[in-house]
Structure 1
Amino acid sequence: MLKNFFTDGIDSPQAIQTALEAIRKHLSMEVAYVCRLEENTAVFEAVDAADPDAPIRPGASMSLDDNYCGHILHGRLPQLMPDTSKSELAMSIPFTRTAPVGAHIGVPITSASGETLGMFCCLSPHAQPTLNQRDLEIMQVFADLVGSQIISEIKNDRRLASNRALIEAVLDQEAYNCVYQPIVDLSTGRAIGFESLCRFTSEPYRSPDKWFADAHAAGLGQRLELAVMTTALGALDQLPPDVYLSVNASPSTIINGGIETIIDQITGSRLVLEVTEHDAVSNYETLSEALAPLRKLGVRLAIDDAGAGYASMSHILSLAPDAIKLDMSLTRDIDSDAARRALTTALLFFSRETRSFIIAEGIETEAELSTLRLLGVPFGQGYLLGKPAELSAALDMTAGAGLARAFGG
């Protein structure tokens, strides 16, 4: 078994389980386990047992004072115990009776900084007088080999817990606000809509996409998206009745529901839902079914970042959007790049055939604006036309001289 372990390596997902089985069988023990240390608690992360009904189960936890881990780490018990009956302290520990434990070997799993994060252990219900220092050294070798993976998992869990706490604080304190960027009719210079963009006020500073990515990783993505969307929709009362609002939503939030309850009190035709996911969607049928009741309310669908990758094109082909937003990488330097103009022309033809409309994102120069107008792109947004701003400032900007200058007025 030891030979197989070293031959197979330690990089597979089953590395820890394989190591436990290998060392348990090599030492002729009944149970091998890895536990992580959380304050005064030992949590059994992985267990390999000869008896499937062994009382130690993955996910179970126990006070450090009620098992051997804490006592070994504090030097009250040795790492190698061939016969626990010879230790008065060991015999007084509840774990000795419940496991039961007649022999035990346990070595710490320590990070590079010296922090002890867990224990790598073997036990037998019967005394094992033949256990010796060499066996302890083998245990330490195994602990070192799988320790990096265990430590990585522990650190990742800690990072997720920390992120979750940050996201929960953001939600509890409503530490975010919405800014609005105009979407402009390129033939008239009139703002036909505004895209709502989220800005976070909580520390540490992170870009909005990082906040949302961390929220989804922590299982709070849908809650955060819906909270921000609720804030954004408050702008509708201040927008002219013929101007729409565009909000962002990931496929997972759309599929999981909740959006319909937020928008049931507004005019759906004034809302455009932008699909923000840049990864492939595993089941478009499920997503389409989730979008159906929203579309019945009049909500229109936009696909973001067209031309930026395969995922956005798959969204376009599978979801029949009402609007296709050209990625800023396609808009950038379109006045001097024939390939960008050709791809934009192709997407314009596609939009006409599918009765959708095109919005060019990231317009920053007058040359880009002029080229897009000549190509026939109907709508656009970007810093040249208006930067994201608080709603009152955004409305003043679109009503003032800023757009007039952009269109030669």
Structure 2
Amino acid sequence: MSRLETLFVPEEGVESSADTIIQEALDAVRAHFGMPIAYLSEIVGAESVFRSVSAPGLEDLIKPGDRRPLDAVYCQHILDGRLPELIPDTGAVPFAQTLPITREVPIGAHVSVPIRRADGSLYGMFCCLSPEPRPSLNPRDLSIMEMFASLSARHLNARLSAEATRRALAKTIGETLENGLFHMVFQPIFDLDGGRPTGFEALCRFDGLPYRSPDQWFRDAARIGQQSALEAATIRAALPILEQLPADVSLSVNASPSAVADGAIGAALKDAPAERIVLEITEHDRLENSDSVIRGLDRLRARGVKLAIDDVGAGYSGLQQILRLRPDILKLDLSLTADIDTDPARRALTVGLVQFARETGAILLAEGIERAEEAAVLRTLGVDRGQGYFLGRPARAEEALAGLAGKSPPRGSRLGPAFTIGAEISGG
């Protein structure tokens, strides 16, 4: 693949790659024409603003961020038809000779084509110039210029689109944080042997429209650097339920490794009864800056917070990450729990994890239990705790507390048979 061809291949991370691609296009067109200056400008009001510049050694003459009045440069005159896009010799163009910039720079040859946004509106100009005339310039050269301009426009528009998306996300996430446009629900966790609730997992539900899953909200927040702030806000919103839970019932909250590393989770849990908090780290999250993550986890665990690894058996790093973090609780992924009563392979893998948990002193918790048969087999295999729709659906705090107290949940409650099945799953 030639260098020119590679310029037309989109790269990942458009926001960071677009500037590089445009710079390379300017370098290439400047070298092709043998001219010392090439640039991409944006028309902002009555000014031409130089956004990208290729002019080695001429930074005192032109550099990114410089501005000039539109009527003082060639751009607007080309757009209005007073100057042609291709000028091999400005001395042969009377109007060019009337412009002071022709003598100040000086400009002997000039090639310029417009750059447009995706909606067709004008963004600016893609230009190349020389202090000496270039009599050999011809319509074929203009076509090459248009090709490079098209390349630059493609990547520029990808960047503009990404920037617009980021601005929209920043606005949405900012409003969500400022106005608390989310609520917490709580799903019970049961001791499979005794049939009693041992804890609740706090889960976030967002109120903004159109509906997006919680995972998408947190991914969007991560894109604009607000994931830690959003996670910390949801944790703070969950903590008040602890005041109404029995002292032996824990609260599980979810956090990304990055939010642990930067201290956001520690700050959110500053005034919480740490010994009653279980911090769930998703097992398939890659531990970027792992030393910082582990230091953050160590500080939390020193205060009494217990660590759970979520989605065990379906994630990124498997047992290697588990061995490094030494969690207090291992949560079996629902892909292992589903149909475990009819699948020998799932049972065999679960037996191995039961033994691993016993050897390491961890508690094994199966999530995604949806049928009585699954709960019974998991209990028989030695799994300590369970969670899932069969045991209890996520519910708002008042409904979860009503179930814990043995009261009938309010009409319309989504609670399943969570608080009446203890005898069934414990074999009573």
| TM-score normalised by structure 1 residue count | 0.87
Partner of 1:351: 357
One of 260, 269, 272 as aligned partner of 1:266: 272
Query: Alignment partner for residue 394 of structure 1, among 400, 407, 410?
Result: 400
2: CA distance between counterparts of 1:39 and 1:306? Answer: 56
Preserved CA contact (<8 Å) 1:176 1:201: yes
| Kept in 1: contact 2:86–2:111 (CA 8 A) | yes
Distance across 2 between alignment mates of 1:380 and 1:208: 22
Mapped pair 1:157 → 2:138: no
Q: 1:79 Cα shift?
A: 3.0
Q: Look up the match of 1:176.
A: 182
1:239, CA displacement in angstroms?
1.7
1:239 aligns with 2:239: no
CA deviations over 1:150-185 (Å, ceiling 9, x no partner): 322222222222212211121122111111111111
State the Cα distance separating 1:111 from its structure 2 match. 5.4
Structure 1 position 387, deviation (Å): 0.7
Q: How many residues are aligned here?
A: 404
TM-score of the pair, normalised by structure 2: 0.83
Correspondence list, 1:325-344, <5 A = 325-344=331-350
The 5-angstrom pairing of residues 19-38 of structure 1 reads: 19-35=25-41
1:237-316 counterparts in 2 under 5 A? 237-276=243-282, 278-316=284-322
Report the residue type matching 1:349 in the other structure. Answer: Q
Aligned-pair distance for 1:124? 3.4
Q: Give the Cα separation in 2 of the matches to 1:37 and 1:320.
A: 58
Structure 1 residue 43, shift from structure 2 partner: 6.1
Q: 2:420 aligns with which of 393, 404, 407?
A: 404
CA distance in 2, matches of 1:63, 1:203: 44
Structure 1 pair 119–236 and aligned structure 2 pair: CA distance change class (3 A) = farther
Residues 1:10 and 2:8 are matched in the alignment: yes
Deviation at 1:293, TM superposition (A): 1.2
Range that drifts further, 227-236 or 189-198: 227-236
Do the aligned residues in 2 keep the contact of 1:215 with 1:221 (CA within 8 Å)? yes
Q: Does structure 1 retain, via aligned residues, the 8 Å contact 2:118–2:157?
A: no
Whether 2:220 is the aligned partner of 1:220: answer: no
Q: Which amino acid in the other structure matches residue 122 of structure 1? A: C
Please identify, of 128-137 and 198-207, the stretch whose mean Cα deviation from structure 2 is larger. Answer: 128-137
Give the secondary-structure state (helix, strand or coil) at the position aligned to 2:201.
Answer: strand
Compute the displacement of 1:344 (Å).
1.0
User: How far apart are 1:298 and its partner, in Å?
Assistant: 0.5
Q: Is 1:83 aligned with 2:81?
A: no
Read off the aligned partner of 1:404 and give its amino acid letter.
Answer: T
Change (3 A) 1:141 1:224: same
Partner SS, residue 205 of structure 2: strand
- Using the alignment, how far apart are the partners of 1:194 and 1:274 within structure 2? 12
Equivalents in 2 of 1:40, 1:235: separation in Å? 58
1:404 and 1:285, CA in 2 relative to 1: closer, same or farther beyond 3 A? same
Is this contact kept in 2: 1:284–1:319, CA < 8 A? Answer: no
Aligned pairs for 1:181-196 within 5 A = 181-196=187-202
Give the equivalent residue in structure 1 for 2:411.
Answer: none
Q: Cα distance, 1:132 vs. partner?
A: 4.2
Q: Which amino acid aligns with 1:405?
A: I
Give, in angstroms, the shift of residue 70 of structure 1: 5.6
SS of the residue corresponding to residue 266 of structure 1 reads coil
Is 1:47 the counterpart of 2:53? The answer is yes
The alpha-carbon deviation at position 299 of structure 1 amounts to: 0.7
% same residue: 44
Contact in 2 for aligned 1:106/1:120 (Cα 8 Å): yes
Deviation per residue, 1:55-90 (Å, 9 max, x gap):
5444x3647847655665565654335539954798
The answer to whether residue 357 in structure 2 is matched with residue 361 in structure 1 is no
Code of the residue aligned with 1:6 in structure 2: it is L
Structure 2 spans left out of the alignment, 5+ residues: 12-16, 409-416
Decide whether aligned partners of structure 1 residues 55 and 348 sit closer, same or farther in structure 2, where only a CA change above 3 A counts: farther
Deviation at 1:279, TM superposition (A): 3.5
Give the 3-state SS of the residue equivalent to 2:267 in structure 1.
Answer: helix
**Is the partner of 2:317 in helix, strand or coil?**
helix
Q: Secondary structure at 2:149's aligned position in 1?
A: helix
Distance 1:157 1:136 in 2: 31
Return the offset for 1:117.
4.5
The 1:92/1:325 distance shift into structure 2, 3 A limit, reads farther
1:25 is displaced (CA, Å) by 1.4
How many angstroms does 1:272 deviate by?
0.9
- In structure 2, the CA distance between the partners of 1:163 and 1:68, relative to structure 1 (3 Å rule), is farther
Deviation at 1:54, TM superposition (A): 4.8
- CA distance, structure 2, for counterparts of residue 179 and residue 89 of structure 1: 73
The two structures, once aligned, show a CA RMSD in angstroms of 3.1
Query: Which residue identity does 2:99 align to in structure 1?
Result: M
Deviations 1:237-290 (A, max 9, x none): 122221111111111111111322222222211111111363322443221112
Match of residue 414 from structure 2: none
Q: Offset at 1:214?
A: 0.6
Q: Structure 1, residues 316-346: CA drift from partner, whole Å, max 9, x if none?
A: 1211111111111111111111111111111
Q: Structure 1: where are the runs of 5+ without partners?
A: none
Larger deviation, residues 237-246 vs 378-387? 237-246
* Residue 120 (str. 1) matches residue 126 (str. 2): yes
Amino acid at match of 1:371: V
CA shift in 2, pair 1:53/1:263, >3 Å: same
Distance 1:389 1:312, change over 3 A: farther
